[in-house]
Structure formats: structure tokens, C-alpha cells
Amino acid sequence: MSGRLTGLKGLLSPFSPAQDQQRGRPRPPCSVPQEPTLPAPHRAPTTKAQRSPGRGGPGRRGGAGLAGPAPCQREAPAGRAAESALQRAWARAVLGDRSPLQDTVFKMVHAETFSRPLSRNEVVGLIFRLTIFGAVTYFTIKWMVDAIDPTRKQKVEAQKQAEKLMKQIGVKNVKLTEYEMSIAAHLVDPLSMHVTWSDIAGLDDVITDLKDTVILPIKKKYLFENSRLLQPPKGVLLYGPPGCGKTLIAKATAKEAGCRFINLQPSTLTDKWYGESQKLAAAVFSLAIKLQPSIIFIDEIDSFLRNRSSSDHEATAMMKAQFMSLWDGLDTDYNCQVIVMGATNRPQDLDSAIMRRMPTRFHINQPALKQREAILKLILKNENVDRHVDLLEIAKETDGFSGSDLKEMCRDAALFCVREYVNSTCEESHDEDEIRPVQQQDLHRAIEKMRKSKDVTLQNVLMHVGLD
């Protein structure tokens, strides 16, 4: 049986004996006997049974009438018939007009032909072609994805802005991911902030507490590194009525502490693709850790991390869960100098889990009488004001005004002087020094205007509440 298989392999080999020897392929010791060529008069006659291989005869090719027995004629007639059929199938496969059976034989021969080991040059060529094909496929798919992404232009601009900001704050040799680049576009250089404690009036108690609990552990880290209780808080909440200086305090804190300031907006963490919001939330904390000491400031945090309910969208709920999970991770590293600071007008709308993560809270209330007087002095310090103006009297008349209300009131009083100068009939001189200083009556007019505006706003609010 082994001799028969060896002869079959020799039959299926498409190379000549000389080619096989050149390729190092051994020829089988026994091949299929070839039909001897005899002249027509001397060919032995064959019977019908001998010409029909399907009826037990040896067939027309290799019958008993051939002269001279071949070395392999001792094999069984069935084996010789199979070999002869394979030989004819191979010939027809090479010449064409193949049947399904011949296709099978051709595949067997083809596989036998390529079962030899590949040379070194062939392996290198195959690897090179596969590499080129993979690179072309990758860049083609990448180009198609970028072409169908409508926010690609905004992402490129954000990346350029982030690289510019990173150079400004002096961050070098820090590798950022694509998502961290998107968050880095909201970085604020503390050196570019022009807000200090001297620009805030009427909040001395809050400033003192912030210096002790937040700024001192960051600037004097070596004094508190052996104590877990004296580490800076991981969350700080500033709450109170609008316009009382919550955002101003956050910027001044980052400026005085020398921290990198990430002004995070809720829209930054929203993406239309599923799972991208979670990656952006993770990038916020990974970027803050790489740039520490840093402050992540979220203004109007109640709109971002409000009370969770079953009606929340799945993507929003997962993003909130991811944000809070990463926030908790800051507590495991006691040497991590990353602070999440939030400001809100509605602390009652915050999730209880968020309130737990913000143990340090400061109530920024509307300024009292002495605080309003200090704010007015700070606002009008470098302005052209008449020396007879009584700021204490103005402070008494502005009860219920916030810091932003007082600033807007002073701006209106200064505009009264400018409007009077522009509308005057005197055209002798147009020097800016001709604008008269702000007087007491200008401030009174501005107070009346501000009160009317606040009353109209309050009436609109009450009307909407009644409709609801």
C-alpha cells in the first residue's frame, strides 16, 4: 500500500524527474508503467472485455496484450485503474474542460505542489505585501471615519488650542490622549488670571477659611504629607444667590494656590457616540492628575450633577456614575493634589452622593451693609468720582443688592456722565477730561433704575411660578 501511495505522489507531481532532482524532491522508486509503442501489424488484438475497464478488464491502456511486463504490474487491477484514471484527470485538468471530480483532483495536486517550505525571499515578500495591505486598509478606514464625523474640524481646533495652552503653562514631555486634548482646551493658565484676593471685598471670612483649608496644604505640602487629616479636601462647594462672587472666589483660589485651572463645562462631556462621554469623564481626571496641583471647576454644578432619577437617560446616568467613581478614586491617593470645586445657586438640587463628596462648603450670601460699602469702595477706587460722594449712604440704600448688582449700578452712574457729555451743546472742546465726575445724584438715579429692573424680574418669576 505504501508503494502505491508513493507511486501516486510521483504521478501527481507536475515536474519532470530532472526538475524534481533540482528542487530536492526524491522521485518514487516505482512509477506508473507507460504503454509501449508497437507497430500496428504487430499489436496484439484485444477483446471487448479487455477494452471495457468497468467490466473487470484491464482496459485499452495497459491491457494484457502489451509486450513485456512492467515492474509495477504486480499491483491489483483496481489500483492500476485508479492510477490511470487520476492520470487522465490530471491531463484534462491541465488542458481544460474540467468536471467537478477533476477540480477536486486539481486542488489535490495544487496543494501538493505548494506544500513545500517557502524560501526566505518568499517569506519576506509575503510579509511586505501584508504590511502594505494592512497600512492602506487602516488609513482608508481612518479617512472614511474622519470624513463622516461632523465635529472633526472642532476637534482639530481644540487640539491646536490645547497644545498652545500647554506651552503657555510650561508643561513639557507630557503625552496626552485624544480625549485629554479635548479637555485641555478648557485649561486656564493661573498666571493669566488677573483676579486676586484684593479684588474681592466683603468676603473676608470665606477667604480666610479657603486659605487655611485649601491653599495652605497645597503650598506647604511638606508640612502635611505625614498626616491624612490635614490633606486638602477633594471637593469644595460654593453656594449662594447669583452674582455674589462664587466664580470669582474659585479663580482667585487657583491663582493664589498656583494650581492649573480646568474650567469644565457640562457640554464638554456630552457626545453623540455611545461610550464617548465616559471616556471624556475619565480624561478629565487623568489630565488633572498629570497637571497637578489642579482645580476642576464646575460652574452651575446643579445642572450637571443633579438628583438622579429613573427618568434619566442611560448615557447621562452612566456618565454621572463614571464621574463619581473617578472622583472617589482621588481619596485613595492621599498625595494627589486635585480638587473638584463647584458653584451653584440651588444646592438642594444636587445629588446626595455629590454632597458627600464635597465636605467643604462655603455659603456666599448677599453682602451686608459693611460688605456693600467695601464693595463700592473697591469698584469706584480708580474711577472719576466726586469727593463729596457718601458711599455709606449709598450702601444703606442698596439693601438686597448683590456684588454684581452694585457693579452694574456704578456703571450706569458713570454712563449718565458720559451721555450728558455727548448730548451737551458745548462743542468747544472734545477732551475726555471734560467729562464730569460721578456725583451722588448719579448714583441715586442708578439705584432707582436697578430697583425697577429687579422688581420687573421678580414679577416675571412670580408669574411663571403661578402658571406652573
> How confident is the model over 364-377, as pLDDT tens digits?
988 899 999 999 99
> How confident is the model over 132-170, as pLDDT tens digits?
999 999 999 988 877 776 667 777 777 777 777 777 767
Do 350 and 217 fall within a single domain?
Answer: yes
pLDDT of 103 strictly over 80: no
CA 186 to chain centre: 15
Do 338 and 434 fall within a single domain?
Answer: no
CATH code of residue 443: 1.10.8.60
Among 192, 358, 189, which Cα is nearest to 261's? 189
> Can you tell me which residue has the cell 463622516?
148
> How large is the angle between the packed helices 100-113 and 2-12, nearest 10 degrees?
90
- The better pLDDT of the pair 226, 130 is held by 130
Do 216 and 321 fall within a single domain?
Answer: yes
Do 311 and 383 fall within a single domain?
Answer: no
Do 261 and 190 fall within a single domain?
Answer: yes
CATH code of residue 342: 3.40.50.300
| Mean of the per-residue pLDDT values of the chain | 74
Give me the domain span that covers residue 75: 2-34+50-62+70-113
Answer yes or no: are the C-beta atoms of 283 and 162 closer than 8 Å. Answer: no
Do 332 and 385 fall within a single domain?
Answer: no
> How confident is the model over 435-454, as pLDDT tens digits?
888 999 999 999 999 888 87
One-letter amino acid for residue 444 of the chain: H
pLDDT of 69 strictly over 80: no
Q: Is 280 part of a structural domain of the chain?
A: yes
pLDDT on residue 11 = 44
Q: Is 40 part of a structural domain of the chain?
A: no
Instruction: Give 87: exposed, middle or buried? Use CB within 10 Å, 0-12, 13-18, 19+.
Output: middle
Q: Is 201 part of a structural domain of the chain?
A: yes
pLDDT-derived band at 92 (thresholds 50, 70, 90) equals low
Does the pTM of the predicted model rise above 0.75?
Answer: no
Q: Is 41 part of a structural domain of the chain?
A: no
